[in-house]
Amino acid sequence: MSKATKSKRVIKVRDKFLFFIMPAIIIFIILIIVMAGILSEKMIQSLSEDALDSSLNNQADNITSWLEKNLENFSSVKQTIEATNPDEEELQEILDSFYGYNSYAKEGIYIGTSTGELYKASDSTKTSGNITSEDWYKDGLTRVNLNYGQTYTDYKGDSIISASGIINLNRDDLMVLAADLSLDQISIIVNSGVKMDNAYSFLVDTNDNTILAHPDTSLVSTNINSSSDKLLSGVAKKIDNQDYNKEEINNYLVSLTQIDGTDWVLVSYIKKDIVMSSIYVLIKKLAIIAVIAILLTSGVIIVIVNYLIKPISKISDGVTAMADGDFTISINSSSNDEIGIMSDKVEDFIVRMRDMLKNVALESDKLQDQSRTSDVVAKSMYEASEKQAKAMQNLNSTVDELAKAVNEIAINAQTLTEVVSDTRSNSAKANESMQESVEISKQGKTDMEKLSFAMTQIQKSIEELLLSINKVGDASEQITGIVGLIGEIAEETNLLSLNASIEAARAGEAGKGFAVVAGEIGKLAQNSADNAQNIAKLIEQIRNLISDVVTQANTSAENIQSNTVLIDTAVETFDKIYENIATSNNLVTDMINGVTKVDDVATNVAAISEEQAASADEILETSKQMVEQAENITRNSEDVAANSEELADTSEKLTSYVSKFKLESDDEE
């Protein structure tokens, strides 16, 4: 065992286990207590809010019920008066009879008219200035059925709410029936109707945020908007925003609700500390329970850990003994858990190590014998390797000469390949030129054929032109005949006009008009004769021109015929040229194919030569390596001999190492 191992501080598994498990359990218990406290706090707060809402709704229902009950009472009085349709005296009697009927309406029932009159009970102290300007009168004019208006302070300083509505007594002026209710009863409901202990309520008119009822009477009729109290100012903000949801304001749990049929809002509140006081007691109890649970749990865990860790101590002692070289120990465990499995495996390891060390001792003895035999074999290998090295050197010289010869063949084959490659390149260029010549001759042949066809067409056109010209000549002959006929007619007409003139002269005065007509006819006949002569001259000129054109057309036709013969000859010549060029092209193509085959053969020869040269180089390199290996074998043989001696020394040392382990007990020895 090394000094570092001896000086190393040992921490038991038991201590480590407790170090990690105890804080985790303590934290777990604390978390449970904290979660229980938080959940209890939320639950109690929720229950308190529900209780506050229940109390608030109960008070609101009581206020609504009280208002509706009084409103029904006043409505029944109104219906009674309308049903009797009384005169003024009867009306007064009715009002007097209902005075004191409702204890909350101290002034009884009263009626105001649009003329400013006020009908009331005789014992009533109700006073009024200008009735039509009173709020209760103006509110009443807006409805037939009785309903409440806004709260106000009367001349006595009491908070009053009036129920008013139009009453129909079949009179000319408008009449409004009204009754005043004191809010004292509402204050009683607000202050004493709270079901929840330590909770309070107050009533606010949302029209002007005035407090109508409050446990602190000094705050009644004050405006919560101008209050410095944080609770009242917070409630004012919620009312202004028409937010009637539950909320915590200045450490108060606050709940709001609107009274049906009015503009009033009832507010209930309780201090949060009062609600949470039971939570604080519960948290203290939970803390005490947590401490007790931690102590009990710690004790139980320590006992369990000691019981579970005890078998591990036996394993630790056994491993320590093995580290000191004692393999005679035995670890037995009756446990059937993971620790029992670990003990069994350590016991198996001890047995296997004990057997293995014994075998190592036996093998070390055999190793000594084998090392002596290896020494003899190594010397024999050394002598054989020297002979092999000499033979490999001779083989190396022979292969070197072979490699030189193969390299020369490869160089010559490479030169042949380059020459053939150049020839193939030139042949390819010649093939390209021949292909161009073939294409050019083919195009020339095509052009000559087109030219021959065009000359044939021209010849046909000339022949058609000659036919047309001949037709024109025939037509001019016909025109000449017609012109001659016109001339004869003009001469006869001229003779007739002369005869007519003679006859007109004979007739005297009676024939003067006829003489004038005959003269005009004579002039017309003379003009016709002159024009006919001119036309005859023109036609004669046309005939001469047509004759010249026919002559020239015949000459052109003969020339075209000659050119057509020459073009046909040229086409035949181009056909022969094209056939010769095509034949030459095929020969060049065959020559290129032959050169390509020669190039392939030369390339293969060069490749084979290079492969043979490479193979020769590889053989040469291999022979060199074999020479080196032979030399290495010689050196290794020397090393084997030396190693065999070292192996003998190692086997002796191995035997001495194994002897340090205690493999058998003193009794077995």
Count CB neighbours of 560 within 10 A.
19
Q: Is residue 297 part of a domain?
A: no
Query: Is residue 28 over pLDDT 70?
Result: yes
Q: Is residue 362 part of a domain?
A: yes
Per-residue model confidence (pLDDT) at position 333: 65
Per-residue model confidence (pLDDT) at position 402: 64
Helices then strands, each counted (H, E), the chain: 9, 10
> Would you call 533 helix, strand, or coil by DSSP?
helix
Q: Is residue 366 part of a domain?
A: yes
Q: How far apart are CA 74 and CA 91, in angstroms?
A: 15
Terminal-to-terminal C-alpha distance of the chain: 26
pLDDT tens across 124-140, in order?
888 877 888 888 899 99
Mean pLDDT, the chain, whole residue set? 77
Count CB neighbours of 148 within 10 A.
20
Q: Are 100 and 183 part of one and the same domain?
A: yes
Q: How far apart are CA 136 and CA 111, in angstroms?
A: 11
Q: Choose among 412, 459, 457, 649: nearest CA to 561.
A: 459
Q: Choose among 548, 539, 559, 549: nearest CA to 465.
A: 549
Question: How many domains does one find in the chain?
Answer: 2
Q: Is residue 80 part of a domain?
A: yes
Which CATH number fits the domain that encloses residue 189? 3.30.450.20
Q: How far apart are CA 148 and CA 118, in angstroms?
A: 19
Q: Choose among 283, 245, 259: nearest CA to 49.
A: 245
pLDDT tens across 165-183, in order?
999 988 888 999 999 988 8
Q: How far apart are CA 285 and CA 529, in angstroms?
A: 161
Q: Are 264 and 366 part of one and the same domain?
A: no
Q: Are 130 and 114 in contact (CB under 8 A)?
A: no
Measured CA distances, 612 to 181, 402, 604 (Å): 133, 10, 12
Please indicate whether residue 555 or residue 313 has the higher confidence score (pLDDT): 555
Q: Are 270 and 254 in contact (CB under 8 A)?
A: no
Encoded tokens for 63: 């206020």
Domain stop point among 279, 305, 325 = 279
**% the chain with pLDDT above 70:** 72
Q: Which run of H or E residues covers position 149? A: strand 147-153
Q: Is residue 530 part of a domain?
A: yes
Please indicate whether residue 164 or residue 546 has the higher confidence score (pLDDT): 164
Q: Are 270 and 390 part of one and the same domain?
A: no
Domain stop point among 264, 279, 294 = 279
pLDDT tens across 582-593, in order?
776 677 677 667
Handedness of CA 428, 434, 438, 439 (dihedral sign): positive
Query: Is residue 4 over pLDDT 50?
Result: no
Q: Quick one: 159 exposed, middle or buried, by C-beta within 10 A (0-12, 13-18, 19+)? A: buried
Q: Are 393 and 478 part of one and the same domain?
A: yes
Residues written for the chain: 669
Give the domain range for residue 97: 42-279
Per-residue model confidence (pLDDT) at position 265: 92
pLDDT band at 8 (very low <50, low <70, confident <90, very high): low
Q: Are 67 and 176 part of one and the same domain?
A: yes
Q: How far apart are CA 330 and CA 322, in angstroms?
A: 10
Count CB neighbours of 345 within 10 A.
12
Which CATH number fits the domain that encloses residue 536? 1.10.287.950
Q: Are 265 and 383 part of one and the same domain?
A: no
